[in-house]
């Protein structure tokens, strides 16, 4: 069995290696990405009772890099990003985000990190009782960001423009379609201009056309905000469109990683099954 099989050396390095430059595959632009690691996960383990979900999982994500975590349903992809954002506490291992180990942080330190990390929930998690405007203002108000109402209004309109939904500002979430809700959730994630964005199955539950639009939006956002991303997905179009690098999560481990093309041509059946 293969473990942490690297099909293409695309792992982040602190010093750029001129002899071995990063992989040319970069769907979001032609420029190679900076390889300074913003997320460094090592030997991560997480279990729920007797069910081992993550077992010695290691991965690093470079600055401005889009890494897709590919895996079957229920293998622990969402658990992984919830550990990264501090919603779940791992049993062991380290999760360095901007050099800080998430499990060691107190509440205030965690909030400071969270202000720099956006999280797009699978269910969008828009607050039902609030308008779109209030949903977008919520993170700004809660992170004590000093801003006048006028500045806040213009920021709200800016992120809504970025997702193409400026006209929905005073609507309630229930009045929006599934794709619109996803875009609003993305706008709420963007409002703090995060340096890292974690996407939990961003295209699940959407029709193929809307799914493609969201994938394109993820790429556009990465280009505009220069953010690093971890994208949890098993939608192969989304994986192909958004990934700089793909990590395959099998048996709680980072089973293999590489670009979309290299993994697609892998002879390993456990990897191949995702691309068929």
Partner 1 sequence: MNQQTIQLRRFLGETGELARFTARYFVQGGRPRFELRELIRQCYVIGVNSFPLVGLTGFIMGLVLTMQLRPSLVQYGVESQLPVMVGIAIVREIGPVITALIFAGKIASSMGAELGSMKVTEQIDAMEVSGTNPFKYLVVTRVTAATLMLPILVILGDAISLFGAFIGVNIRSTTSWDLFFRQIVDNFSFGDVVPAFIKTFFFGFAVGVIGSYKGYNSSKGTEGVGRAANSAVVMASILIFILDLIVVQITDLLGLN
CB of 234 closer than 8 Å to CB of 68:
no
With respect to partner 1, which residue has the nearer C-beta, 41 or 84? 84
* Shortest CB 196 distance to partner 1, Å: 12
Among 114, 234, 245, 264, binds partner 1 (CB under 8 A): 114
CB atoms within 10 A of CB 104: 11
What residues does 42 pair with on adjacent strands?
94
CA distances from 84 to 222, 233, 234 (A): 19, 16, 19
From 54-62, 96-104, 124-132, 242-250, give the range in contact with partner 1 by CB under 8 A: 124-132
- Please tell me the total number of residues recorded for the chain in this structure: 276
Say which residues have a Cβ less than 8 Å from residue 273's Cβ, sequence separation at least 6. Answer: none
Give me the 172-211 binding string for partner 1, x by CB under 8 A, dash otherwise. ----------------------------------------
Among 23, 28, 79, 121, binds partner 1 (CB under 8 A): 121
* Shortest CB 43 distance to partner 1, Å: 25
With respect to partner 1, which residue has the nearer C-beta, 180 or 248? 180
Among 33, 46, 82, 183, binds partner 1 (CB under 8 A): 82
Is 219 a binding residue for partner 1 by CB under 8 A? The answer is no
With respect to partner 1, which residue has the nearer C-beta, 111 or 158? 111
Among 38, 69, 70, 85, binds partner 1 (CB under 8 A): 85
Among 111, 153, 158, 251, binds partner 1 (CB under 8 A): 111
Return d(Cα 220, Cα 271) in angstroms, integer: 28
From 49-57, 123-131, 152-160, 162-170, give the range in contact with partner 1 by CB under 8 A: 123-131
Return d(Cα 14, Cα 121) in angstroms, integer: 30
- β-pairing, 228-233 vs 245-250, is unpaired
Return d(Cα 101, Cα 108) in angstroms, integer: 14
Return d(Cα 108, Cα 105) in angstroms, integer: 8
Give me the 125-144 binding string for partner 1, x by CB under 8 A, dash otherwise. xxxx---------xx--xxx
CA distances from 198 to 211, 262, 264, 269 (A): 17, 24, 24, 28
Which residues contribute to the site for partner 1 (CB under 8 A)? 82, 85, 87, 107, 111, 114-115, 117, 119, 121-128, 138-139, 142-144
């Amino acid at each position: 069995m293969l473990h942490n099989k690297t099909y293409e050396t695309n792992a982040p390095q602190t010093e750029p290696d001129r002899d071995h430059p990063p992989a040319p595959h970069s769907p979001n632009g032609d420029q190679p990405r900076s390889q300074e690691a913003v997320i460094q996960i090592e030997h991560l383990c997480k279990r729920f009772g007797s069910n081992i979900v993550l077992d010695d999982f290691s991965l690093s994500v470079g600055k401005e890099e889009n890494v897709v975590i590919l895996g079957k349903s229920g293998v622990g992809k969402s658990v992984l990003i919830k550990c990264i954002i501090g919603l779940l506490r791992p049993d062991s291992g380290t999760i360095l985000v901007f050099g800080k180990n998430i499990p060691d942080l107190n509440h205030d330190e965690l909030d400071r990190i969270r202000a720099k990390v956006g999280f797009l929930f699978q269910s969008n998690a828009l607050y039902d009782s609030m308008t779109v405007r209030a949903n977008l203002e919520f993170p700004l108000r809660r992170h004590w960001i000093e801003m006048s109402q006028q500045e806040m209004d213009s920021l709200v309109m800016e992120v809504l423009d970025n997702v193409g939904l400026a006209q929905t500002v005073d609507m309630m979430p229930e009045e929006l379609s599934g794709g619109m809700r996803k875009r609003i959730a993305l706008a709420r994630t963007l409002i703090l201009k995060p340096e890292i964005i974690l996407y939990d199955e961003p295209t699940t539950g959407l029709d193929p056309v809307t799914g493609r639009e969201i994938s394109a939006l993820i790429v556009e956002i990465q280009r505009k905000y220069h953010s690093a991303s971890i994208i949890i997905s098993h939608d192969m179009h989304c994986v192909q469109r958004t990934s700089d690098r793909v990590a395959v999560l099998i048996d709680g481990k980072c089973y293999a990683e590489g670009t979309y093309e290299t993994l697609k041509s892998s002879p390993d059946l456990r990897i191949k099954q995702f691309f068929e």
